[in-house]
Chains A and B, each alone.
Chain A
Amino acid sequence: MSETVSAAEPGKAPEESEQCESYLEAGGHTLMSWLTTTDHKRIGILYAIAITFFFFIAGIAIGLVRLELMSPRGLFLSDDEYNRLFSLHGIVMVWFFLVPSIPATFGNFFLPLMIGAKDVAFPRLNLLSWYVYLLAAGFACYAIVAGGVDTGWTFYTPFSSLYSNGNVLAAAAGVFVAGFSSIATGVNFITTTHMLRAPGMTWFRLPLFVWAIYATSVVIVLATPILAMSLLLIIAERLFGLPVFNPNDGGDPILFQHLFWFYSHPAVYIMILPAMGVISEVFTCFARRHIFGYAMMIYAILGIAVIGFFVWGHHMFVSGESQFANLMFSLLSFLVAVPSAIKVFNWTATLYRGSISFEAPMVYAMGFVGLFTMGGLTGLFLASIPIDVHVTDTYFVVAHFHYIMVGGSVSAFFAALHFWWPKITGKLYSEAWARFAAVIMFLGFNSTFLPQYIMGYTGMPRRYHVYPPEFQAYHVLSSMGALVLLTAYMLPLVYLTWSLFHGKKAPANPWRATGLEWQTPSPPPEYNFEEIPRVDTLPYEYHPENQGGPFRPQGKVIGGK
Chain B
Amino acid sequence: MSDDPSVVQFPWPTVARQREGVAFGMWTFLGSEILFFGGLLLTYAVYRTLYPQAFNSGSAATDIFYGTINTALLLTSSFIMTMALRGSESGSRGVVAACMLTTAAFGLAFLAVKGLEYAEDIDKHLVPGPHFPLHPPARLFFAFYWVATGVHAIHLLVGILVAVFLGIRVALRQMAPESTAIEAASLYWHFVDSVWIVLYALIYLPGRSGA
A and B, one complex?
yes
Interchain Cβ contacts within 8 Å, total number: 157
- In the complex formed, the residue of A with least CB distance to B37 is A229
Within 8 Å by CB of B11, from A119, A190, A233, A250, lies A119
The stretch of A4-12, A63-71, A166-174, A511-519 that contacts the partner chain: A4-12
Contacts of B206 in A (CB 8 A): none
Cβ–Cβ contact A222 & B32, under 8 A: yes
Q: Which residue of chain A has the shortest Cβ distance to B6 in the bound complex?
A: A11
Q: Which residue of the partner chain B has the closest CB to A220?
A: B32
Q: Which of B99-107, B133-141, B156-164 makes up part of the contact surface?
A: B133-141
A243 an interface residue at 8 Å Cβ cutoff?
yes
The answer to whether B28 and A190 touch across the interface, beta carbons within 8 angstroms, is: yes
A191 to B12 Cα, complex, angstroms: 12
Bound Cα distance A6, B18 (Å): 13
In contact, B25 and A187 (Cβ under 8 angstroms): yes
User: Quick check: which of B40-48, B63-71, B74-82 contacts chain A, the rest being far away?
Assistant: B40-48
Q: Cβ of A242 and Cβ of B128 under 8 Å apart?
A: yes
Q: Which residues on the B side are within 8 Å of A264 (C-beta)?
A: none
| Residues 1-36 of A at the B interface (beta carbon under 8 Å) | 1-2, 4-13
Least Cβ distance of B36 to chain A in Å? 4
- A residues in contact with B24, CB < 8 Å: 191, 194-195
Verify B28–A191 contact, CB threshold 8 A.
yes
Contacting residues, chain B, for A117 (C-beta < 8 A): 11
A224 within 8 A of B: yes
Q: Which of A2, A112, A241 contacts B19 (CB 8 A)?
A: A2
Q: Is the CB–CB distance between B50 and A242 below 8 Å?
A: no
**Is B140 touching A1 in the complex (CB atoms < 8 A)?**
no
**Looking across the interface, which residue of chain B has its beta carbon closest to that of A119?**
B11
Query: B143-188: which have CB < 8 Å to A?
Result: 143-144, 146-147, 151
Q: Across the interface, do A121 and B25 meet the contact criterion of CB distance under 8 Å? A: yes
Question: Do A230 and B147 have beta carbons less than 8 Å apart?
Answer: no
A10–B12 CB distance below 8 A: yes
In the bound complex, CA of A249 to CA of B134 (Å): 11
- CA–CA, A223 and B21, complex, Å: 22
Contact at A252–B32, with CB atoms within 8 Å? no
Residue of B whose beta carbon sits closest to that of A8: B8
Contacts of B32 in A (CB 8 A): 183, 186-187, 221-222, 224-225
Whose C-beta in chain B lies nearest to the C-beta of A240? Answer: B146
Q: Would you call A328 an interface residue if the criterion is a C-beta within 8 Å of the partner chain's C-beta atoms?
A: no
Q: Are A250 and B50 in contact (CB under 8 A)?
A: yes
Which residues on B sit within 8 Å (CB–CB) of A10?
8, 10-13
Could you tell me the distance between the alpha carbons of A222 and B1 in the complex, rounded to whole angstroms? Answer: 37
- Given known contacts A187-B28, A242-B147, A8 and B35 CB-to-CB distance under 8 angstroms: no
**Contact indicator B25/A188 (Cβ below 8 Å):** yes
Least Cβ–Cβ distance between B76 and chain A, in angstroms: 26
* A252, B128: Cβ atoms closer than 8 Å: no
Q: Which of B3, B36, B143, B147 has the most C-beta atoms of chain A within 10 angstroms of its own C-beta?
A: B143
Binary A-proximity of B103-147 (CB < 8 A = 1, otherwise 0): 000000000000000000000000111000000110110111011
Distance in Å from the Cβ of A244 to the closest Cβ of chain B?
Answer: 5
Name the contact of B9 in the complex, choosing from A11, A223, A240, A250 (C-beta under 8 A).
A11
Contacts of B21 in A (CB 8 A): 121, 191, 194-196
Question: A140 to B36, alpha carbons, bound, how many Å?
Answer: 22
Considering only residues 11-66 of chain B, those with a C-beta below 8 Å from chain A are: 11-17, 19-21, 24-25, 28-29, 31-33, 35-40, 42-43, 46-47, 50-51, 54
Query: Binding site of B, secondary structure by majority: helix, strand, loop or mixed?
Result: helix
Interface size class of A (residues with CB under 8 A): 35 or more
Residues of B contacting A112 with CB < 8 Å? 11
The reply to whether B3 and A229 contact each other, CB–CB distance below 8 Å, is no
> Does A255 interact with chain B (Cβ within 8 Å)?
yes
Contacts known (A1-B89, A195-B21); A226 close to B39, Cβ less than 8 A:
yes
Name the residue of chain B whose CB is nearest to the CB of A235. Answer: B147
Asked whether A293 is an interface residue with its Cβ less than 8 Å from the other chain, the reply is no
The answer on a CB contact under 8 Å between B46 and A255 is yes
User: Chain A contacts of B1 at CB under 8 A?
Assistant: 1, 4-5
A118 at the interface (CB under 8 A from B): yes
Please measure, in the bound complex, the distance between the C-alpha atom of A7 and the C-alpha atom of B32, giving whole angstroms.
34
Which residues of chain A from 239 to 271 have any CB-CB distance to chain B below 8 Å in the complex? Answer: 240-244, 248-252, 255, 259, 262
Assess the A250–B140 pair: CB atoms within 8 A: yes
Q: B210 at the A/B interface (Cβ < 8 Å)?
A: no
A228 beta carbon closer than 8 Å to chain B: yes
* Given the contacts A1-B1, A11-B9, A241 and B129 also touching, CB distance less than 8 Å: yes
B9 touches A6 (CB 8 A): no
- Cβ-closest chain B residue relative to A12: B10
CA distance A112 to B40 in the complex (A): 35
Q: Select from chain B the residue with minimum beta-carbon distance to A194.
A: B24
What's the Cα separation between A195 and B46 when bound, in Å?
Answer: 40
Q: 6 shortest A-B CB distances, which residue pairs?
A: A229-B39, A11-B10, A225-B36, A242-B143, A6-B3, A118-B11
**Chain B interfacial positions (CB closer than 8 Å to A):** 1, 3, 5, 7-17, 19-21, 24-25, 28-29, 31-33, 35-40, 42-43, 46-47, 50-51, 54, 89, 127-129, 136-137, 139-140, 142-144, 146-147, 151
Besides the known contacts A5-B15, A244-B144, 11 further A-B residue pairs in the complex with CB atoms under 8 A apart: A6-B15, A10-B12, A121-B11, A222-B32, A223-B35, A225-B39, A226-B38, A232-B147, A240-B146, A250-B50, A250-B139
Give 18 A-B contacts (CB < 8 Å), ordered by A residue: A1-B89, A6-B3, A6-B5, A11-B11, A117-B11, A121-B21, A187-B29, A191-B21, A191-B28, A222-B35, A228-B39, A236-B146, A242-B142, A249-B137, A249-B140, A250-B139, A255-B42, A255-B43
